Amino acid sequence: MKRTKVKKETRLFSAAVGRALRRAAKVARKTARMHGTPIYIWKNGKVVAEKP
């Protein structure tokens, strides 16, 4: 099976998406702290509520 080359634009887009997701998670944690609500995350195959 041949390996295909990944375009530079695709790598840059993937990196930008990763940064945006981390930034959104940071804002979500900050908002949850302000309002005292839990953050729901996937941990060990289950959805659990955690304090931010």
Report if residue 14 sits inside a domain: yes
User: Residue 7's pLDDT band (boundaries 50, 70, 90)?
Assistant: confident
Residue range of the domain that includes 25: 8-50
Q: Is the pLDDT of residue 6 over 80?
A: no
For 10-22, the pLDDT digits (tens) are 899 999 999 999 9
**Entry pTM:** 0.71
Report if residue 23 sits inside a domain: yes
Backbone angles phi, psi at 39, to 5 degrees: -105, 130
User: How confident is the model at residue 2, as a pLDDT?
Assistant: 63
Outline where DSSP puts E strands in the chain.
39-43, 46-50
For 21-51, the pLDDT digits (tens) are 999 999 999 999 999 999 999 999 999 999 9
What total of structural domains would you count in the chain? Answer: 1
